[in-house]
Amino acid sequence: MRIAAIGDIHCSKVSAGRLRPLFEEVGRRADVLLLCGDLTQKGLPEEARLLVRDLKAATVPILAVLGNHDFEAGEVDAVVAILEEAGVTCLDGEAWEKDGVGFAGVKGFGGGFGEWALAPWGEPALKGFVEEATKEALKLERALSSLRTPRRVALMHYAPIAATVVGEPLEIYPFLGSSRLEEPLDRYRVDLTFHGHAHKGSFEGLTRGGRPVYNVAFPLLRESRPDQLPFVVEIASGEDQPSAG
């Protein structure tokens, strides 16, 4: 199975139509497309409608998670309804399977990484922030636990490891992802993980358990891999190792 993955396309009136060639290429090169959040610029229904017009060119199954931009206008239900009406499968703690490969998707959240991760201590606002990160990690765990496929792939918007946000200012690391998302990836032996959000981060990294993680934010791919958009990786339903291209 050839998987195309990209995030942070930020569809708006300005970008309408420009993404069609990209999605046409997906149809030629991949068997499934993963959209890793920030599908729209301001979370407006009209932006979602413009996006699905371009997505029709992909002609492959499409899985998506939302990002922080998709929440901006408070129209999440409308955005999801427009995407799903167009055939996009939106994941928020759910799983999806195809040809022996299982996919689990969540938005994720911030909180920081490793020993510097925020703890649920102190003011209610801070506790609420950490609680949101924990909820997203539990969603991911539930989705992964439901899969019985030989291979597993995770997609999210926020980063699960610090390695793929390297290049961003240190001051904003806590807002780029959370290592609470990392533990389920190792425990359920996830073969590949894709995320976005960190536009100036690093393309790839590994979890503590050695599981590959790819940052497929469109601005990063456009800068670092201009001739290879979108990122495509091949994964077998058996025990073969995935290969990227």
Question: What are the tens digits of pLDDT across the range 168-206?
Answer: 999 999 999 999 999 999 999 999 999 999 999 999 999
Instruction: Provide the pLDDT for residue 243.
Output: 56
CATH superfamily of 2-244: Metallo-dependent phosphatases (3.60.21.10)
| Residue 8 near residue 37, CB atoms below 8 Å | yes
75-120 tens-digit pLDDT:
999 999 999 999 999 999 999 999 999 999 999 999 999 888 888 8
> What are the distances in angstroms from CA 202 to CA 19, 64, 94, 149?
23, 21, 27, 29
Diameter of the chain measured on Cα atoms: 52
Residue 222 pLDDT exceeds 60: yes
What stretches of the chain adopt beta strand conformation (E)?
Answer: 2-6, 32-36, 62-65, 89-90, 94-98, 101-105, 151-155, 192-195, 204-206, 212-215, 231-234, 243-244
Average pLDDT, whole number, for the chain?
93
The strand pairing partners of 65, in sequence order, are 36
Residue 56: which pLDDT band, with cuts at 50, 70 and 90? very high
Strands laid side by side in the 212-215 sheet: 94-98, 101-105, 151-155, 192-195, 212-215, 204-206
